[in-house]
Amino acid sequence: GIQVEQSPPDLILQEGANSTLRCNFSDSVNNLQWFHQNPWGQLINLFYIPSGTKQNGRLSATTVATERYSLLYISSSQTTDSGVYFCAVETGIYSGAGSYQLTFGKGTKLSVIP
Amino acid sequence: NAGVTQTPKFHILKIGQSMTLQCTQDMNHNYMYWYRQDPGMGLKLIYYSVGAGITDKGEVPNGYNVSRSTTEDFPLRLELAAPSQTSVYFCASSYAQGAYGNTIYFGEGSWLTVV
């Protein structure tokens, strides 16, 4: 199956700093999503981004599908950004009633300190 | 806005017992999923459903069963619980599949310990 590797595994930032999280995947994908899991375990969808660039406030993401990687940018980090960031991909061929399986990376644990 | 609701939030189960994790969503989503998350790991898909009456296995289905009698509900049953099933379980739902911009919504998780 497809392999999803995220880097770095751990990241400690001073509040206000910027960061880039990376997600590499081993095969072509038709779906890529970034999630944030807060320290209480809640999972929030950040971006659906199989290709191109999107921005939402201080967060932005870029996926270069031909080179099989995606980047998540966090600018002016805040303590509320702490948690684990997951990249997840799907490779299934859309058939209307076919399978849907997201494969998750192991995540990047971000700690933002005041 | 309720979204995806899971119960119970915490549970301790003895080896060999059975239990059902409940999941319901109020967004009229066709697709529903059960994932498990082990410490320090990403999520792994247990079972999914593309609509009422239709379910299929994910990556790690052994030891679990599901049913989908309504659009709203997708319970996960653990039969003959084993310590390896100690994990955090997430139910999720989405309206459509990947090619159509599938945003997936997660419940708050169910922490299950098998002793």
Inter-chain residue contact A105 with B42, CB threshold 8 Å: yes
What was the pLDDT predicted at A92?
A: 63
Map residue A26 onto helix, strand or coil: coil
Q: How far is A16 from chain B (nearest CA, A)?
A: 26
Q: How far is A21 from chain B (nearest CA, A)?
A: 16
Phi and psi, residue B101, nearest 5°: 75, 60
What was the pLDDT predicted at B101?
A: 59
What was the pLDDT predicted at B99?
A: 47
Quickly tell me which residue has 């299929």 as its tokens.
B56
Over residues B75-109, the pLDDT tens digits come to 999 999 999 999 999 999 988 754 455 678 899 99
A42 touches chain B (CB under 8 A): yes
**Chain B residues near residue A100 by CB distance under 8 angstroms:** 31, 33, 48, 50, 94, 97-98, 102
Map residue B76 onto helix, strand or coil: strand
A57 touches chain B (CB under 8 A): no
**Chain A residues near residue B97 by CB distance under 8 angstroms:** 94, 96, 98, 100
Query: Is residue A114 classed exposed, middle or buried when 0-12, 13-18 and 19+ CB atoms within 10 A define those classes?
Result: exposed
Query: Is residue A68 classed exposed, middle or buried when 0-12, 13-18 and 19+ CB atoms within 10 A define those classes?
Result: middle
Over residues A14-56, the pLDDT tens digits come to 999 999 999 999 988 888 999 999 998 999 999 989 899 999 9
B40, pLDDT greater than 90: no
- Pick from A45, A100, A104: CB nearest B31: A100
Over residues A77-109, the pLDDT tens digits come to 999 999 999 999 987 654 443 456 788 999 999
Pairing of strands B76-78, A103-104: unpaired
Question: Which residue of chain B comes nearest to A91, CA vs CA?
Answer: B98
Written as six digits, the tokens of B73 are: 């509900």
d(CA B50, CA B53): 9
DSSP symbols for B80-104: S--GGG-EEEEEEEESS-GGGT--E
Residue A63's pLDDT band, with cuts at 50, 70 and 90, is very high
d(CA B91, CA B95): 14
Phi and psi, residue B109, nearest 5°: 95, 150
Handedness of CA B67, A29, B105, B59 (dihedral sign): positive
Average pLDDT of span B11-32: 95
Q: How far is A77 from chain B (nearest CA, A)?
A: 23
Does residue B56 contact residue B46 with C-beta atoms inside 8 Å?
Answer: no
Q: How far is B40 from chain A (nearest CA, A)?
A: 7
